[in-house]
Structure 1
Amino acid sequence: MGQQAHRTARRRRLGAELRALREAAKVSPEEAAVAIHGDRSKISRQETGRHRVTRLELDVLLSLYKVKDERTRECLVALASEGHKRSWWRQYGETLRPSFKEGLSLESDATKIRAFQSQVIPGLLQTRPYATAVMTGSDPLPEEELEFYLDLRMERQEVLRREEPPSYMCIMPEGVLRQQIGGAAVMAEQLRRLVGLSQSSEMTIQVTPLSQTTFTCTGGSFDIFSYPDPMGLEVVQVEYLDGALYLEEDEAVTKYGRAWGRLQAAALPAQQSIELIASIARELESE
């Protein structure tokens, strides 16, 4: 599937908003198509997020739909312009699945990321040895392919080191920290990495202790990506064995937001969490 057919969350949101505005203005798809010198299929593709909307086309459509509210126009312009940013992973071409590219796009552009991982340390926080152990244990890959995905995972982590990194919050069960993936030495190094990362003002790491008696049903690991106004967009990424599902509907996003709140309430405060992580690292180093 080519890059043009790759539908990002921003494009879908923009398309849905344009369709709502067109219908409210009682403009037919054919009339809208004539205005931008296209055809009905182009309007359909734009409104379903399968085709980008240029700034000129957006201005024409907003005028046709008689959209005068500056806040609305500003929001839609932001959605359209953000959707055209050049992505650092374009160098990988067709190697990556469209769903994986969408995850990279969400991760790269978000201003706040909330991650719950029920089985492993989140990918953005992994050391290379730990990531190697996770990948080889998940689905054995040829050596060349393994190195490719390891390099990609390490490159993804640059998002946390850029000049204006996103606010990153993650919650993990204590069992994730005690499972010696890759062996004691690899795990100890990984836990020390978490302690070091926690020093950043943009990083919050919390642990749900084994002593916690409250159960929060989440259905598995998930991430919530948040974007600033005027986009006002939140997207939930739910992982499964062969990919990920992206949820944008208000009801679904709200449900996961509530689940996050319950997880956070059940977890240790950040400082106590880091103390526990450091304690487990010391135990591993003494073995």
Structure 2
Amino acid sequence: MSSDLNPIVRLARPAGPDWTKTAANIMLGRAVRDLRQEAGLTQKDVAQAIHVSVSTVNRLETAETTPVRRTVDAVANFLKVGERARDELTMLLSRAMEPEWFQHRFGDCTPDYLHRLLGLESMAIAITTYDVRLVPGLLQTPEYTDHIVRTGLHLSEWDGPELALRLAQRRERQERVMGQADPPQCTFMLDQSVLVRKVGTKGTMRGQMVYLREMADLPHITLRFVLSGRMIAGNAAAMAGSMAQLQFGRGRLSDFVYAEQYQRADYFTKPPRERLDPNKPPTPRQSDYERHLQLLLRIQGEGCASPAKSRRMLDKAIRRYS
């Protein structure tokens, strides 16, 4: 079985000012790491040379924090970086020091565990998701989202700024990912129960089903329902919760699987091939990525109705809510 849900046939999005802060931060750290390794130096060597701690160099390379300009400049000077490489570092640094789109206006209503996903999903060229309880956020209508958000707030907050901010955040997220001139190739796998689990009024459900049906006809979107009678979906998938694989293309950001639970999420990154030692077993984190990816593959291959049947299921749901 292939280890790729969607074989990459498109180039990665080119580096530039349109990159998100999160993406630029990761690529900056990777560029610094590659330059250091090409020079045959350790993190300790660089840290001692530029008079910072080893943890500072490590945080820069792993993009754990927002980079500091003087640290990047010191590394570039010490490694005698050429003009072209320095220009790329400068471009990435400038973008990495800017806030993410959600940090100012939506910072208070964006949980920490979502930051990486929201910062990278617009950079993906392929997204595959599995949602077990609700319509995925990228495909929700405003009315559907409104009901979900309201049920998570206290009654006293319904007329306050919290509700409006959460709804605005969802709309902007959808526009940034799905509204691009060149949107990612998306495969959405929804549990069959989404068709009957009532969210809001009958009109809300009909509007959501109609919107899903429209999306299912777009060339860059594949929508499939995970059938409740398929045991692979009923057992492992239901226990796993919602998941998503994001692919970015070769030579750029590393693909990862996002696995969400209640009030938390885990990120499992695809290890670069050059770092895999064929003579050693994979690390637990490498195994976690493959394990979650294989589960997504099994759901797609063994648990899903075909796209055509899924569209017919939506047609039936639309009639039921009419």
Q: TM-score, normalised by structure 2?
A: 0.71
| CA deviation vs aligned residue, 1:221-259 (integer Å, no higher than 9, x gap) | 111111122115112222122232222243222222211
Which string of whole-angstrom CA distances, capped at 9 and with x for unpartnered residues, describes residues 114-139 of structure 1? 11100000001001111112222345
Return the letter of the residue paired with 1:250: Q
* SS across alignment from 1:196: helix
The answer to whether the 8 Å contact 2:23/2:253 transfers is no
Q: Distance in 1 between matches of 2:68 and 2:286?
A: 24
Match of 1:151 in 2: 168
| Identity in percent | 22
**Match of 1:208, as an amino acid?**
V
Give the corresponding residue for 1:272: 309
**SS state of the match for residue 116, structure 1?**
strand
Q: Is 2:43 the partner of 1:44?
A: no
Correspondence 1:142-221 to 2 at 5 A? 142-143=157-158, 144=160, 145-158=162-175, 159-215=177-233, 217-218=236-237, 219-221=240-242
Q: In the alignment, is residue 131 of structure 1 matched against residue 152 of structure 2? A: no
The AA in structure 2 aligned to 1:193 is: Y
Distance 1:83 1:229 in 2: 21
Q: 1:126 to 1:16 in 2, by over 3 A?
A: same
Give yes or no for contact 1:42–1:51 (8 Å, CA) kept in 2.
no
Q: Distance in 2 between matches of 1:83 and 1:52?
A: 7
- The letter for the 1-side match of 2:309 is Q
Which whole-Å CA distance do the structure 2 matches of 1:235 and 1:33 have between them?
Answer: 29
RMSD: 3.5
Q: Which residue of 1 aligns with 2:15?
A: none
Letter paired with 1:137: T
Unaligned runs of 5+ in 1: 1-6, 65-72
Q: What does the per-residue CA deviation read over 1:68-124, in whole Å, with 9 as the maximum and x for residues that have no partner?
A: xxxxx8xx97x9578567643344264234333222112222111111100000001
In the alignment, the residues of structure 2 paired with residue 169 and residue 57 of structure 1 have an alpha-carbon distance, to the nearest angstrom, of 44
Aligned AA for 2:142? R
Alignment length, in residue pairs? 271
Structure 2: state its 5+ residue gaps.
Answer: 1-20, 270-284
1-structure distance, mates of 2:290, 2:27: 17
Alignment check: 8 A CA contact 1:30 1:39 kept: no
Secondary structure of the corresponding residue to residue 164 of structure 1: coil
Alpha-carbon distance between aligned partners in 1 of 2:105 and 2:134, rounded to the nearest angstrom:
26
Q: What is the alpha-carbon distance in structure 2 between the residues aligned to residue 154 and residue 257 of structure 1?
A: 28
Segments ≥4 residues shifted beyond 4 Å: 7-26, 53-64, 79-86
CA contact (8 A) 1:127 1:190 kept: yes
8 Å CA contact 2:191, 2:226 repeated in 1: yes
Q: Is the 8 A contact 2:26 2:253 kept in 1?
A: no
What does 1:20-35 align with in structure 2 at a 5 Å threshold? 22=36, 27-33=41-47
